[in-house]
Structure 1
């Protein structure tokens, strides 16, 4: 985005200048990245291989305090937490880039069964950071698809979102591939995970003209 805005981002009273600063604040407030990723990794086995059955969580938009958010318990026992089957959200969409992303997920899941991280690799924070990024993309994708139904987001925008999801997944797969501790089997799986998104110029044009460009001048500062 900074490359697109260029010098415009440095003008007086620009929201982008504030956004560029503040967007990095939340991860810092939540703690260092390597600590969070190390905790996230503990969710992977149950998320992929041992889902549970849970009632659907309704949309929460009441004007009330979220006690759970502010009174969270300790971080021990994360490996025992179960999740609803993530494949349900992905199965509800049959779009080109969502399909490619599902192929990448399948390869990641297969790699965790056929070439899981060794005990030594589980101590390699550099490797775990990139593997954690792959995992979080899967979870983000699930949340995007679930909320797309709730907010009635059209297929064009959903598939355009997964255009960059596919590219991000490929980027982090390439990072894992290049780690010194990655095994030949893991490297081969990462090669397969590197995929190109489906580019549809008509879809891209519709998203730009119908959903992005109308936002021009929608927000003004100090007026």
Structure 2
């Protein structure tokens, strides 16, 4: 090994990542130990190049010849994973190294695995959020809505009454409250069964909602008792 090649070898050995040098003619001059271990062969050996002319690394080297800035690219490694490769053109006029390309493979960033892991985590978080949001919505429905008529229950009505009362005081507006009770409802349950009684309650709640204005509030506050807020 001549002194220039030894100097080039010492240079690439300074990198902890896999690195190798390509001369101006496209020949791999030297590689460090990490590169040889990665490709399971000394890649500077003749006819032992681990990548074809059409590979990502070959295209990366070609792109680096047109600029002095490091050129990054995602490349596939022999074991199937991917990493970020950086190719840098050496600018040392009047030296044998002028125009050579140094390629460094950053194996600390396994792009494919990292992206897959992040994508999987994102999907899991999204699914968890949707599930939590759905559970929260269902809990709110059960907490403030009557499951039979789907209007507000007593708890929902109490909160609506407090809110509308404060609004009426603030803006000096009137607030009307109507309480309705279905007469002889017990006899409907006794004579026709609770299924019919439930249908009557549900139908009555629909009648109330259809008759009210936007902003009016109807609630079932007891068995057959309903309340209506009229702001």
Give the alignment's TM-score, normalised by structure 1.
Answer: 0.22
Larger Rg: 2
More helix by share: 1
Higher relative contact order (CA 8 A, sep 6+): 1
Provide the TM-score with structure 2 as the length reference.
0.21
Which has the larger strand fraction? 2
